[in-house]
Amino acid sequence: MTLPRNLKRNLRRILRGFGAASGTATVPGAGGKALEAWIFMRLAMAARATGHWDVTLRQGDGTVLPGGAVFAFATSQSGIQPASSTGPCYVLLEHRVDPDKRLELHGSLQWEGRSRATHEIDVSAIPANVAEALRLGGGGRPRGLPVVAVECKDKNTTGVPDEMRQTLARMFDLALVARPPRPTPPCRIYEPVTGVTWGQRSESYRVFFSLGTFAVARVGKFSRGASRLGLHYTIQRSGRIYDPACSAIAGLERSFRDTLSNLDHY
């Protein structure tokens, strides 16, 4: 179809301006992670909105990110980085009443599984005591099943069962249904050098996966087969995540708030 000349000229001008304004920072697959950043910030605000959590933006050395500064979102992290003001930023959640309830929200953090394979998770939550031990100890990958793990798929296509199987395989490798190598006691998450641990072990994968917020968030929808698999293993299907007529992002926020209120049981 031939575009009318005036519309084509106008569209070219706007595409040029759009490209100069955004570059590839927001184009899916080009390195930017707009979907991840959006979900990340929505979850952080959902925590603050409960009134039970202090939520602060942090620099890579653990200090508060000053107003007017830039939030450096990681596009890939090989683990928690050593403390440095130039490291990726993150969000710290601190319960207002219980000082032991502290979590960090990270983008693109790599976790290490039981097989020693690494798994990068687009948006994940790690207990602050484990993250701090890693940060102050020169960096490293946490081990265990995150409290929150959201995979973000910015394509408009329909999610198929294989995609959900990948997510399950990742969670299977991370879940500490067997105890970690001694002397680390049974736990949910730990840091291998100092032995700092958090949470409880579960003997059943389905029980483990029901304790936390695990989700695949995608721009498209999910097939019936993918949904069936996700439903059985309590992996939330947040499809059509950008569509304001859908309740996907609200559902994800609700799940996160539930996870935060049930942390004692994890």
Pattern 155-174, binding to other proteins, x per CB under 8 A? -xxx-xxx------------
Q: Is 50 in the site for other proteins (CB under 8 A)?
A: no
Using CB under 8 A, pick the residue from 202, 239, 252, 253 that binds other proteins. 239
> What are the structure tokens assigned to 180, written together?
């970690």
d(CA 47, CA 258): 10
Q: Residue 193's CB: how many other CB atoms inside 10 A?
A: 11
Q: How far is the CB of 240 from other proteins (least distance, A)?
A: 9
Q: Residue 95's CB: how many other CB atoms inside 10 A?
A: 17
Q: Is 257 in the site for other proteins (CB under 8 A)?
A: no
Determine the 3-state secondary structure of 263 from DSSP: helix
Using CB under 8 A, pick the residue from 104, 122, 132, 154 that binds other proteins. 154
Q: Is 219 in the site for other proteins (CB under 8 A)?
A: yes
Q: Is 15 in the site for other proteins (CB under 8 A)?
A: yes
Using CB under 8 A, pick the residue from 184, 225, 233, 266 that binds other proteins. 225
Q: How far is the CB of 199 from other proteins (least distance, A)?
A: 26
d(CA 75, CA 20): 21
Of 70, 190, 75, 69, which Cα lies nearest the Cα of 130? 190
Q: Is 224 in the site for other proteins (CB under 8 A)?
A: yes
d(CA 123, CA 246): 21
Q: Is 215 in the site for other proteins (CB under 8 A)?
A: no
Of 201, 200, 180, 204, which Cα lies nearest the Cα of 192? 180
Q: How far is the CB of 195 from other proteins (least distance, A)?
A: 27
What letter does residue 146 receive in the DSSP assignment?
-
What letter does residue 124 receive in the DSSP assignment?
E
Using CB under 8 A, pick the residue from 67, 97, 264, 265 that binds other proteins. 67
**Subset of residues 17 to 46 that bind other proteins, contact rule: CB under 8 A:** 17-35, 37-38, 40-42, 44-45
Q: Which stretch binds other proteins (CB under 8 A): 122-130, 166-174, 201-209, 229-237?
A: 229-237
Q: Is 233 in the site for other proteins (CB under 8 A)?
A: no
6 sits in the region (left: phi over 0; alpha: psi -120 to 50; else beta) called alpha
Q: Is 97 in the site for other proteins (CB under 8 A)?
A: no
Q: How far is the CB of 8 from other proteins (least distance, A)?
A: 7
Of 263, 151, 132, which Cα lies nearest the Cα of 218? 151
Q: How far is the CB of 53 from other proteins (least distance, A)?
A: 8
Total number of residues binding other proteins (CB under 8 A)? Answer: 83
Q: Is 193 in the site for other proteins (CB under 8 A)?
A: no
> What are the structure tokens assigned to 7, written together?
């519309």
Q: What pairing do the DSSP bridges indicate for beta strands 213-218 and 148-153?
A: parallel
